[in-house]
Amino acid sequence: MCPMDIREVSDQKTDKDVLTEDCMLCMTCAESCPGDKVLSIKFFKWPLFSSSRKYVANRYTKKEGLS
Ligand code: SF4
Q: Where are the domains of the chain?
A: 35-67
Q: Decide: helix, strand or coil at residue 5.
A: coil
Q: What confidence tens digit (pLDDT) does each residue in 17-26 have?
A: 888 899 998 9
H-type alpha helices, the chain: 8-11, 28-32, 53-64
Q: Would the pLDDT of 64 be above 80?
A: no
49 pLDDT higher than 90 = yes
Give percent above pLDDT 70 in the chain.
96
- pTM as predicted: 0.80
- Decide: 57 in ligand 1 pocket, CB within 6 A: no
Residue 19 confidence (pLDDT): 84
Residue nearest atom 5 of ligand 1, based on CA coordinates: 23
Phi, psi for residue 44 in degrees, rounded to 5: 55, -115
Q: How far apart are CA 62 and CA 5, in angstroms?
A: 26
Q: Which of 15, 20, 21, 25 to mutate to test the pocket of ligand 1 (most atoms within 8 A of CB)?
A: 25
